[in-house]
Structure 1
Amino acid sequence: MKQILLLFACFLLCGGIAVADPIVEMKTNMGSITIELNSSKAPLTVDNFLKYVDKKFYDDTIFHRVIGNFMIQGGGFDKSETKKATLSAIKNEADNGLKNQKGTISMARTGVVDSATSQFFINLVDNHSLNHRGTSSGAYGYAVFGKVIAGMDVVEKIGKVKTISKSALFRDYPEPQVIIESVRRVKK
């Protein structure tokens, strides 16, 4: 019995128990999307995203940018098109080995490498040009931190909505609005 306990203790101490990656459900007015987050490859990004999820920050925000055959972007504006106050920007983890492939979720950012806060996008196709290719700003890429595991049909439906140009800020704006009703952690 003592040997079994020692083996079990070694198993635990050596990291033998795999911790399941967090899963979130994003409910939209067009259906639900389930996303598995990759906390081993993008720990800072996943932690940041979950802080917003736990604060219910994404409730009643919109997908404000939809470009067919490219991506859908949300997480920064409420239904009245007001930009929401965010936490501090995070370090860009685009060099984590994950690729911007169809169905992955990545952090949106400005031209500054470490500028991502709350906005994210879901890739509608494999977007190789968004992958990490070097350390300069233009080549650094966008940090992938998870993938859609259910509801890709909803993502694709959102990707096909009609868009309009409302202003310089909202050039690919869905009409009617695509609303993120809530994002919650899913219990396994």
Structure 2
Amino acid sequence: MANRGRLKAIGTILLSCLMLLAAVVPAVSAPEKTVDVVITTEQGNISLRLYPERAPITVKNFLRNMDAGIYQGGQFYRAVRMDNQRPANTTITLIQGGRNPAVKPLPPVPHETTEMTGISHQNGVISMARLEPGTATSEFFICIGDNSALDYGSDRNPDKQGYATFGVVTDGMEVVMQIQNQPTNVPMQDPNSPVKGQIMEKPVRILNITRK
């Protein structure tokens, strides 16, 4: 009987220790799900990591376009630098591209703001181009440096909704910079166009975008 009592006491002490340990050590959360893709261009490859848990709508749209072959034969056609943008309260630096011009775009998707995703427009971040909120289809841009002026709440755009970020470059920023340095200044029909002086003389072809 004495031995049984001692064993019971030891068991109680061990259970208490385990409960205390569980309270002190935080639970290990599951790793975030990501999707790795590569943009193959005639200038080189750009590897991306997409965040479907943070930006489910936007990532799903990008992958939908990718799987449909929308980007095969597409192009980077816009390069924004410090030397080719109009004076403004905020400046941006990026490259923009998208679908094959001969391919009809898929329907637009609802707008996911940076406030919703928690992904700011920082160096290497990829985001969707748009006109009004909820008009993004296939066109995207890659940030070079701090472009937080494109985040939610910024007054760069009158609607202050910013753009929909959904991933980041993991390898190939040197290719992004090389594309940004392509000659621009294609004449525009509209002299007041916000992209005046930013359209490449020779767009850089996107050969394909595929999962890694």
Q: TM-score surpassing 0.5?
A: yes
Q: 1:104 aligns with which of 116, 125, 136?
A: 125
Stretches of structure 1 lacking an aligned partner (at least 5 in a row): 1-14
Partner residue of 2:111 out of 65, 74, 92 = 92
Larger radius of gyration, structure 1 or 2?
2
Give the Cα separation in 2 of the matches to 1:20 and 1:97: 15
Amino acid in the other structure paired with 2:47? T
3-state SS of 1:47 partner: helix
- Classify 1:42/1:149 alpha carbon distance in 2 versus 1 (closer, same or farther; 3 Å): same
The structural deviation recorded for 1:166 is 3.8
1:119 is aligned to 2:142:
no
Q: Determine the C-alpha separation between the residues in 1 that align with 2:32 and 2:119.
A: 19
Pick one of 34, 40, 45 that aligns with 2:47.
34
Q: Give the TM-score, by structure 1 length.
A: 0.81
Alignment of 1:52-71 (within 5 A): 52-69=65-82, 70-71=93-94
The number of equivalent residue pairs is 168
Letter in 2 for 1:57: I
Report the Cα distance in structure 2 between the residues aligned to 1:77 and 1:182, rounded to whole angstroms: 10
Q: Tell me the percent identity.
A: 33
TM-superposed CA distance for 1:33, in Å, is 0.1
User: Do the aligned partners of 1:25 and 1:32 also contact (CA within 8 Å) in 2?
Assistant: yes
Equivalent position of 2:159 in the other structure? 138
The unaligned stretches of length 5 or more in structure 2 are: 1-27, 83-92
Q: Once superposed, what is the RMSD of the aligned Cα atoms?
A: 2.4
1:147 partner amino acid = V
Displacement of 1:56 after TM fit? 1.7
- Tell me the amino acid that sits aligned with residue 120 of structure 1: F
Once the two structures are superposed, what CA deviation does each residue of 1:114-160 show, in whole Å capped at 9, x if it has no partner? Answer: 110100000112112100017x9521100110000000000011111
Using the alignment, how far apart are the partners of 1:36 and 1:17 within structure 2? 18
2:200 is matched with which residue: 170, 174, 185? 174
Task: Specify the SS of the correspondent of 1:56.
Answer: coil
Cα deviation digits, residues 25-83 of structure 1 (max 9, x gap): 001011000000011110000000000111121011111211125111111443xxx5x
SS in 2 for 1:177: strand
In 1, distance between residues paired with 2:158 and 2:65?
26
For 1:9, the equivalent position in structure 2 comes to none
- In structure 1, the partner of 2:210 is 184
- Paired residue for 1:10? none
Residues 95, 141 of structure 2: 8 Å contact kept: yes
